[in-house]
Amino acid sequence: MDADRERFEELFRRHYAPVVRYAVRRVGVDAAQEVVADTFLTAWRRLDSVPEHALPWLYATARRLIANEVRRQARGARLGQKIAGGADGAVPDHAEEIADRLRVGAALQQLTERDREVLRLAEWERLDSADSARVLGCSVAAFKVRLHRARRRLAAALDSGACAPTPVEVLNRGDRS
């Protein structure tokens, strides 16, 4: 039992910060705390299943928990709109006023969730192709093809100029890109 505890403590020390960043980028600070806690709880419960190179396994676990959280948030938002009679009470994120972030965020929104996730793993999480492929449950070759295509589509969206919303559109939209 002591060996398991030591292994888990090392796993936690080494990978806590990257898993937090992964979750925060996808569901925000508040929801990320629960996702990270559940990710490490799953790791503790399934410690024998956690591979030596654990970060991709932790990301894959967090990814499934995030999918559940996103569905829960969507249900909550729909319920809130129903209760409020459809009134949008969202508060805009003032950080989105930075022009480049607006443009990239809008371009990312034009992409599919699958393309966005591939780009996030490669660019935000800085995973190599093998680790990213493990997170997504596909081959390395398939991941590389997906990444190439996602980058090409993002570049096209950025070049089109159609992805640059005005600050007024962002404020009226009230969502996060």
What rounded mean pLDDT belongs to the chain? 84
Q: 77 and 124 share a domain?
A: no
The residues, ordered by sequence, that sit 6+ positions from 168 with a Cβ below 8 Å of its Cβ are: none
Q: Which of 170, 56, 153, 76 is nearest to 114 (CA)?
A: 153
Q: 85 and 156 share a domain?
A: no
Total domains in the chain come to 2
Q: What percent of the chain has pLDDT over 70?
A: 82
The residues, ordered by sequence, that sit 6+ positions from 29 with a Cβ below 8 Å of its Cβ are: none
Domain boundary among 36, 61, 89: 89
Q: Mean pLDDT, to the nearest integer, of 63-74? A: 87
Q: 138 and 70 share a domain?
A: no
Residue 164 region by backbone torsions, left for phi larger than 0, else alpha for psi between -120 and 50, else beta: beta
Identity of the amino acid at 8: F
Domain CATH code at residue 61: 1.10.1740.10
The residues, ordered by sequence, that sit 6+ positions from 60 with a Cβ below 8 Å of its Cβ are: 134, 135, 136, 137
Q: 98 and 28 share a domain?
A: no
- Give yes or no for residue 165 having a pLDDT over 60: no
Determine the structural domain holding residue 74 and report its residue range.
1-89
Q: 96 and 169 share a domain?
A: yes
Domain boundary among 37, 63, 89: 89
For 101-140, write each residue's pLDDT tens digit.
Answer: 788 888 889 999 999 999 999 988 989 999 999 999 999 9
Question: Binning pLDDT at 50, 70 and 90, where does residue 175 land?
Answer: very low
Q: 85 and 24 share a domain?
A: yes
For 4-36, write each residue's pLDDT tens digit.
Answer: 999 999 999 999 999 999 999 988 898 899 999
Domain boundary among 43, 62, 89: 89
Domain CATH code at residue 134: 1.10.10.10
Q: 128 and 71 share a domain?
A: no
For tokens 């990710």, what's the residue? Answer: 39
Helix axis angle, 2-45 relative to 55-83, nearest 10°? 40
Q: 100 and 168 share a domain?
A: yes
- Residue 133 DSSP SS3: helix
Q: 44 and 82 share a domain?
A: yes
- Give yes or no for residue 172 having a pLDDT over 70: no
pLDDT of residue 163: 59
Tokens read off for 142: 């398939």
Tokens read off for 41: 């709880």
For 78-98, write each residue's pLDDT tens digit.
Answer: 877 777 664 555 655 555 457
Q: 33 and 80 share a domain?
A: yes
